[in-house]
Amino acid sequence: MPPPPGRSPAEEGDEALGVLRAWIDTVRGDAPWDALLEPTPARGRSLRELTVNVFHPFELLPAAWSSGRFLWHPEDDGSREQRLDSLEDLLVFAGAAADGWQAFLEEGHDGDRDVESPRGLVRFSSLIAFQRWHAAYHYRQLVHVLGAEDRLELEGFALPRDVF
């Protein structure tokens, strides 16, 4: 499902950062480690795997801006996930990705560019918009599965009515 058009990359990026920070706060406050390892209705993926799936693209986006190549291969998330064997490891991973994304945004990258991706040539702004939407979609699943308090207003994210 494509993200809604018309937003600036900076706005999309800032909102995405808000989702990443809310995700970290939710995991830190409401997630027992065992709950993060259980399969969810999201194609049987655990919340730990969804955390990798959401945060790893934000590790890659700054390099995609400078290189023109977005090298995200979600099929490799399982091996990344397996290296995170404690709540602290997961929070350090997610925090580093969010901090790196924030630093990139603070550098103020103006304009837009084409970027090669596994799905072909796309605009960098479209990558940000999609990853913002993707993070919000899975954030809602995280909140639902954990029975956690929703820390974000998601009205403007154009998410489907169904959580899964």
What pTM did the predictor assign?
0.92
What's the Cα-to-Cα distance from 67 to each of 13, 49, 62, 99, rounded to whole Å? 18, 27, 9, 20
Contact present, 9 and 104 (Cβ < 8 Å): no
Contact present, 139 and 19 (Cβ < 8 Å): yes
Q: CA-to-CA distance for 73 and 12, rounded, in angstroms? A: 22
CA atoms within 13 A on the CB side of 27: 31
Q: Give the pair of three-digit tokens for residue 67.
A: 């290189």
Q: Give the pair of three-digit tokens for residue 57.
A: 């693209």
Contact present, 52 and 80 (Cβ < 8 Å): yes
Contact present, 153 and 19 (Cβ < 8 Å): no
Contact present, 100 and 59 (Cβ < 8 Å): yes
Is it the case that residue 2 has pLDDT exceeding 70?
no
Is it the case that residue 75 has pLDDT exceeding 70?
yes
Residue by residue, DSSP assigns 86-121 as SHHHHHHHHHHHHHHHHHHHHT---S--EEEETTEE
Backbone angles phi, psi at 66, to 5 degrees: -80, -35
Domains of the chain plus CATH, in order, are: 10-157 (1.20.120.450)
Q: Please give the pLDDT value at position 6.
A: 58
Per residue in 19-52, pLDDT (tens digit) is 999 999 999 997 899 999 999 999 999 999 999 9
Lowest mean pLDDT, pick from 4-13, 58-67, 112-121, 142-151: 4-13
